[in-house]
Structure formats: C-alpha cells, structure tokens
Amino acid sequence: MFRSLIVATATTLCLVSGCTTNSVTGERQFHTMSFEQQVALGSEQYNPSQQQQGGRYVVDPELNLYVSNVGQKLAAYSKVKLPYEFVVLDNDVPNAWALPGGKIAVNRGLLILLEDEAQLAAVLGHEIIHAAAEHGASQMMKAQMLGLGVAAAGLASKDSDYATYIGLGTAVGAQLYQAHYGRSQELESDKYGIEYMVKAGYDPQAAVELQQTFVKLSEGRQSDLLSNLFASHPPSQERVERNRELAAKHSGGVRNKAAYQKAIAQLKKDKPAYDAHNAAQEAASKEDFASALSNVNKAIKLQPQAALFYITKGNVLRAQKNNTEALAAYQKARQLNPDYVMGYLGEGITAFNLDKKSVAQTALESSMKILQTPIAAFHLGEIAREKGDKQTALSYYQFAANDKGELGQAAQERAAQMQGLAQ
C-alpha cells in the first residue's frame, strides 16, 4: 500500500508539473526548476549558506585554490554545464554540500580526514552529481507541491554560538545544504561521481575508502556533531559494496597523495589550535568561561590568523560582561576575515552596548551587506529611532520582525510604535 502511495504521488507530480529527462541518468523525472532558476537560486544562497557554516577558510588561501582546481577538473566531465564553484569552509564537521546551480562547499573538518586527492575527487564528484542531477532542487519542489513548504532555515542548534546573531532571517540556503538525500539519490551520486573520477584519471578505489570512513564514523560517533552529516548523506555498507563493484570495473588511476598532503599541511599543523578552540566552545557551553577563555587564548597563540578563534573569544568575553575586550576581539576577527559576517555583527552589537553608536552603525551596516540578519536590522532600527529617522527605523524593524523569536516580537512592537508616531 505504501509503495502504491509513492507511485501515485510521483505520477501526480508528473501530471501537475510535467516530466523531463534527467541529463545525468537519462531517466524520466518530474520537472523541478529551469536551468536559469537553479543557477539563480544557487548564486543567491551560496554566500548565506557559507556564512551560516563558519565562513570561508582563509588561513591558507592556497587550499581553496587547490580544492577548486580538483573540482573544476571533475566538473569538466559533467553533462550539465553549470557554473560550478568550490569553496572550503572553516567548519569542524566532516561534511560537504551542494546547492542547485553547481555551488559546492567542503568543510575543513572533512579535508583533514582524507588521505589523498583521489578521495577528495570522490567527495567533489559526489556533490557535482547532486547538483547536476537536480537532487536539491527536486526535494524543494516536491516539498512545495505536497504542501510541506520550505521552512525558514536558521541554524542546526539553538545552542550554537552563531544562533545569537544569525536568528532566522535567511530562508532556503540551510534548508538545501541540510537536505536529507534518499537512498536512491546517494547511490546515484556515488555511481556517476565515480564515473567522473575515472574520466578525470583518479583511482575509483578512493570512493570505496571514503564510504568506509563514513560508515566507521557513523558507528563510532560520540556526539551530535555528525548528526547533520549522516542525516543529509546517510552512509551504509550497501554504498560501500556498490562502490566496490563499480571500482572493480576499472583499473588503476592516480592518487596524488603527496600533492594532497602538501595542500592540507597547514590544516594538520593547526590541529592542536582547533582542538583548543573546540575545548573552549565545550567549556563555554557549560558556562565555564574561565576555562573557555584560557583555551581560546591557547588556540590564538598557536594560530593567530584564524578569525573564528577571535569570534569565540569575543563571545566568551561578552558572556563575562567584558564588552571592551570583546569589542577588540570582534574587530580583530573582522580584520582577519573581512568577508565573514560574524566579526561585524559582534563588533556592532558590542559597540551598541558600549554606547558607541557610530562604530555600531558602521559595523552593522557592513554586516547587512554580507548577510541580512534580523538582529543587525533591529539594532540599526534602534540607532535610526534615536536619531529621529522614523522611516528608516520602521524599515529595519519590519525586516527584523521576520524573526520567529523574542527579537521578532520586540521588532513588531517597535514597528507599531513607529507607525503610530507617523500617523
């Protein structure tokens, strides 16, 4: 009965939206979005998605270049000529994701687990297929057509350091990169990803090893850190065996271990620093702020160029009510990574609390150019209201009112006040 329901649903979707031929598999599928819509959506959501996942990794810019070059080498064999882009994110979770339109990201936490370039190619080839085969776009369209909608996406955990700042102001991006791919989509991405690997000259055995690594991680995971990874890319012994069967059909291929190890040398060197940073975050989550500050200072001493460390230091100092030193930490983070929103947000909110409204306004306006967030809009509304600029204040409050929590309620009240004054 359940299978009949699935078939009936799929048939209905085809009747309503029309079916097309999948350019990767050659199979019929219900129509998702036009090529132009997918490219536009991916371009629109690529930066917000990166901002919500730690921002681009900038300590070693050459690593981004290396990953992008491997990705473009594989993308050259894609049947779907999307404007592919590849970035490395400063995020501990061993994960990678793809948005419609070929916008792909891989986390620092995954790169350090890989052994060679062939394994990296297995990761990127898999994500290229998710984009080319319209997996993310397909899921979003199905949800909309079945009346499920696309929920406004905030952050994975309300306890996250970022949750205080990001709020719920961005919609589609996180929903897509946290998409829960089904078994058939994962097998499809494995199969055709291996095909691209082989065409690019890589050893497909690396795809087998990659899935073996994920299976081991899923069996031995000790925290919720990996929950999103295994929800979006469920590993299984079946995938290991399928990949092994596919790899057996091809012999040889390059591994490029030396080149890969050279590319991630900085990551490996900085592992003690990131371990200290993780210890700081763990201590902060338990409100042991003295230990948190000690650990984050250790991380900064080991690697003084990581903006992420200064963000955490600022958060800890703010929790200790030391806004003056927190402001300096956020400003340092902003200087180290001027394309990451968190430094500007921390600086702006902390400066606001210190009654440095000019500094706050500049920082918050800069943050809004990178990523529009309800909390930045609310504080800018407060600054405009104090200046007597009712129209600007109202505009900011109306945006902040999109937040689903207490901030949104406060913004709604402020907006009502502004509208009352305008009458």
The DSSP code sequence of 340-367 is -HHHHHHHHHHHHHTT-HHHHHHHHHHH
- Asked if residue 356 and residue 239 are part of one domain, the reply reads no
pLDDT of residue 228: 54
∠ CA 157-150-29, nearest 5°, is 125
Query: Who contacts 335 (Cβ-Cβ below 8 Å, separation ≥6)?
Result: 343
351 and 215 housed in the same domain = no
Nearest C-alpha neighbor of 136 from the set 108, 97, 109, 106:
97
Q: Tell which of 247, 265, 283 closes a domain.
A: 265
User: Residues 71, 124: contact at Cβ < 8 Å?
Assistant: yes
Whether residue 181 is found in the same domain as residue 69:
yes
Token look-up 């937040």 returns 403
One domain for residues 201 and 304: no
Q: Helix, strand, or coil here: 379?
A: helix
Backbone angles phi, psi at 96, to 5 degrees: -145, 155
Q: Report how far apart, in Å, the C-alpha atoms of 391 and of each of 154, 158, 415, 421 are.
A: 28, 32, 10, 10
Whether residue 233 is found in the same domain as residue 381: no
Token pair 């991006």 in the structure block, residue? 173
User: Residue 404's beta-bridge partner residues?
Assistant: none
At residue 312, what are phi and psi to the nearest 5 degrees?
-65, -40
DSSP per position, 63-130: HHHHHHHHHHHHHTT-SS----EEEEES--S--EEEETTTEEEEEHHHHTT--SHHHHHHHHHHHHHH
Domain assignment of residue 393, given as a range: 268-422
Which residues have C-beta within 8 Å of that of residue 15, sequence separation ≥ 6? none
Do 346 and 317 touch, CB atoms closer than 8 A? Answer: no
Instruction: Extract the tokens encoding 242.
Output: 């399928």
Same domain as 224, residue 244:
yes
Helix or strand or coil: residue 22?
Answer: coil
CATH code of the domain containing 320: 1.25.40.10
Residues 199, 260 within the same domain: yes
Residue written as token pair 């609310």 = 378
Total number of domains constituting the chain: 2
274 plus 177 within the same structural domain: no
Of 239, 265, 291, at which residue does a domain stop?
Answer: 265
The full length of the chain comes to 423
Q: Tell me, what amino acid is at 286? A: K
Question: Which residues, including other chains, have CB under 8 Å from residue 218's CB and lie 6 or more apart?
Answer: 226, 230, 235
pLDDT digits (tens), the chain, 423 positions? 434 433 444 444 454 455 666 656 556 666 567 888 888 888 898 999 999 999 999 999 999 999 999 999 999 999 888 999 999 999 999 999 998 899 999 999 999 999 999 999 999 999 998 887 665 555 665 544 444 333 333 333 333 443 444 333 333 233 444 556 667 778 788 888 899 999 999 999 999 999 898 888 877 654 555 555 544 556 678 888 888 998 889 888 999 999 999 999 999 999 999 999 999 999 999 999 999 999 999 999 999 999 999 999 999 999 999 999 999 999 999 999 999 999 999 999 999 999 999 999 999 999 999 999 999 999 999 999 999 999 999 999 999 999 989 999 999 999 998 887 655
Give just the sign of the alpha carbon dihedral 189, 60, 43, 405: positive
Residue that finishes a domain, picked among 265, 286, 308: 265
Write down the pLDDT at residue 140: 60
Q: Do 277 and 250 share a structural domain?
A: no
Structure confidence at residue 418 (pLDDT): 84
Main-chain dihedrals φ then ψ at residue 279, nearest 5 degrees = -65, -35
The predicted structure's pLDDT at residue 419:
83
Same-domain pairing of 253 and 235: yes
Contact 147, 153 (CB under 8 A): no
269 contacts: CB under 8 Å, gap ≥ 6 = none
Where does 156-256 have alpha helices with state H? 163-166, 172-177, 183-199, 205-220, 227-232, 237-248
Whether residues 306 and 173 share a domain: the answer is: no
Using the 8-state DSSP alphabet, how is residue 56 labeled?
Answer: B
Residues 221 and 284 placed together within one structural domain of the fold: no
In whole angstroms, what is the distance from residue 349 CA to residue 355 CA?
10
